[in-house]
A = this chain, B = another copy of it.
Amino acid sequence: MTTARYDVLGIGNAIVDVLARAEDDFLVRHGMRKGAMTLIDEARATGIYDAMGPAVEISGGSAANTIVGCASLGGRAAFVGKVKDDELGRVFAHDIRAAGVAFDTPPASDGPSTARCYVLVTADGERTMNTYLGAAQDLHPQDIDADAVAGAAITYLEGYLWDPKHAKDAFLKAAAAAHEAKRLVALTLSDAFCVDRWRDEFLGLMRAGTVDLLFANEAELRSLYQTADFDSALAALRREARLAVVTRSEKGCVVVSRDQVLAVPACPVEHVVDTTGAGDLFAAGFLFGLAQGATHERAASLGALAAAEVIQHLGARPQASLKALAQERGLAG
């Protein structure tokens, strides 16, 4: 195993978020599951967009947000995901490259347009997401550069990737390339309903050792083991996962390995503006810490720090330098 060229390489849906504030009423009227991510077709996308308030366009995508977070912490980072060669595709490519991330996936020249996620943010800061996958679902195994994956200390995959047809194969190709180079593979479960769609396959990935490190929040973990009891789910996870982190919002997180269950507190936040990206940025901090050889505790604290930054403003990518924040808190290097 040679020195890694990247700390973290992420593979995920390349999406531009279209964020607007909304009342709870709006969610009810449009049949949206509050706090969840729902896949929508183009007609539904048009209907939602026509009905929603004035919006802001900000690059998003779960793993993409995580990778931008890694770069903001000072990590060497790369992203693989599919946009179309259209205006929003150029916005996505600009933003991720301008954040210092290597992004070389060629855009699609035809087919559906760049993916958009219509994010409704309610007064409590909760976000409800409606994703039109568009070009993102056309990520194919040939978009995976095995050499780039082999050169990344950790390859990170989002559970949402299990939805698009070919992306699943891209995912498996990347995991194989990573393991061949003796690197780590991490997966986030992404969303409780995503887990509901793909429970057996996600459990299979963990049991087969395709995934070395699992990220889940409480709802996703409960969905994975189909139990309302957090402790039972945690015990089941501990028997199966090599390493896992369960995030619990303001209660912090739990790092689970065979020999230890370690609770790490959240960073206190005065006012939650928009929880979009909280999980993504937690993963950024943890992955960056791990790739840099930090202890699990320090890695989790970096995750908490990054998550705290992103929930204090609109949008799922950091607005401040996370490296500077980590230095202020004595969490850097």
Contact = CB atoms under 8 A, between A and B. Distances in A.
Interface string A44-77: 0000011011111111000000001000000000
Interface string A75-88: 00000000000111
A94 interface: yes
A87 B68 CA distance: 25
A91 interface: yes
A132 to B, nearest CB: 13
Contacts of A317: 54
A52 B98 CA distance: 7
Nearest to A317: B54
A68 B88 contact: no
Contacts of A87: 86-88, 113
A58 B59 contact: no
Contact of A57 (B52, B57, B319): B57
A332 interface: no
Contacts of A49: 94
A91 B118 CA distance: 13
6 contacts: A21-B319, A54-B95, A54-B96, A57-B58, A86-B87, A87-B87
Given A49-B94, A94-B49, A56 B315 contact: yes
Contacts of A96: 54
Interface string A94-109: 1110110000000000
A95 B55 contact: yes
Contact of A98 (B54, B59, B88, B99): B54
Contacts of A88: 87
Nearest to A58: B56
A95 B49 CA distance: 10
A68 B54 contact: yes
A96 B53 CA distance: 9
Contact of A94 (B55, B94, B319): B55
A263 B87 CA distance: 46
A167 B183 CA distance: 60
Given A87-B86, A87-B88, A88-B87, A56 B53 contact: no
Contacts of A55: 91, 94-95, 98
Nearest to A56: B58
Given A49-B94, A88-B87, A99 B54 contact: yes
B91 A57 contact: yes
Contacts of A21: 319
Contacts of A68: 54
A98 B53 contact: yes
A74 to B, nearest CB: 16
Contacts of A56: 56-58, 315
A273 B95 CA distance: 21
Contacts of A52: 98
Nearest to A53: B98
A331 to B, nearest CB: 23
A59 B88 CA distance: 14
Given A57-B57, A86-B87, 6 more contacts: A53-B98, A54-B59, A54-B68, A54-B95, A55-B91, A56-B57
